[in-house]
Amino acid sequence: MKQIYIYKRFERFWHWSQAALIIFLAITGFEVHGSFHIFGFEQAARFHRVASWALIVLIIFAIFWHFATGEWKQYLPTTNKLKEQILYYAYGMFKGEPHPTKKTELSKMNPLQRLVYLGFKLFLIPVTIISGILYMFHKTIDANDVVVVEDIPLHGIAFWHTLGAFLLMVFLVVHVYMTTTGHTPTSNIKAMLTGYEDVDDEDGEGEIKIAEKNNESKS
């Protein structure tokens, strides 16, 4: 077993702050929705708006980072070993079979993760954010009598926003479960905290060189 440097500093910061913001937005959002009572409606709505701006700023930085570093290529979908990966999660891993794909610095996501995260970035997050922005300006703009968002019925906006919120919660539960399917139940979470991941020795020399290179120039 050896260690390779997989998740860079900004990536880890982005990952955990995005997770914290989404969970906080879910708590305040579902309170606005009327599902439970923690902060009180007014306060929950205020917190929800502040956190949503923080998420938007964070995502703008993350988009910039993905393009500036070329990391966006990690999300290019592939069908290579996709079937093997699905079969592995469906029953292979319960029988102790080895992972069908190897994690390296240049390819840290398996084919199924690529597809799911691409959908997350291109569909789920945009639907939730765009409907959230329309929601936000629907109310403000109504008051200021600006027409743009007034034309879209509020119940339609609320529907898409709430659907996005539900799907994000489903994603969160599945995502947290999937993190436990690494070498040990906590190894993937540790990797996202420290940046380093344990991989099998037979994965080759390449990763060691990459890890050394990255140790010199951690970004």
Residue 141 binds to ligand HEM (criterion: CB under 6 A): no
Q: Which amino acid is at 158?
A: A
Residue 100 binds to ligand HEM (criterion: CB under 6 A): no
Residue 15 binds to ligand HEM (criterion: CB under 6 A): no
Q: How far is the CB of 115 from ligand HEM (least distance, A)?
A: 21
Instruction: Find the binder of ligand HEM among 3, 17, 162, 179 (CB under 6 A).
Output: 162
Instruction: Give the SS3 label for residue 197.
Output: strand
Q: Is the dihedral of CA 143, 136, 122, 115 positive or negative?
A: negative
CA distance 136 to 149: 10
Nearer to ligand HEM, 29 or 195 (CB): 29
C-alpha pair distances (Å), 98 with each of 34, 66, 115? 45, 30, 21
Residue 139 binds to ligand HEM (criterion: CB under 6 A): yes
For residues 27-86, which are near ligand HEM according to CB under 6 A?
Answer: 29-30, 32-33, 45, 48-49, 52, 55-56
Nearer to ligand HEM, 14 or 135 (CB): 135
What is the 3-state secondary structure of 37-85? Answer: CCCCHHHHHHHHHHHHHHHHHHHHHHHHHHHHHCHHHHHCCCCCCHHHH
Instruction: Find the binder of ligand HEM among 112, 161, 182, 211 (CB under 6 A).
Output: 161
Q: H or E stretch including 163?
A: helix 154-179
Among residues 15, 78, 51, the alpha carbon closest in space to that of 136 is found at 51
Nearer to ligand HEM, 110 or 128 (CB): 128
Nearer to ligand HEM, 12 or 49 (CB): 49
Residue 124 binds to ligand HEM (criterion: CB under 6 A): no
Residue 167 dihedral angles phi and psi, to the nearest 5°: -65, -35
**From 10-18, 25-33, 66-74, 204-212, span contacting ligand HEM (CB under 6 A):** 25-33
What are the residues binding ligand HEM (CB under 6 A)?
Answer: 22, 25-26, 29-30, 32-33, 45, 48-49, 52, 55-56, 128-129, 132-133, 135-136, 139, 158, 161-162, 165, 168
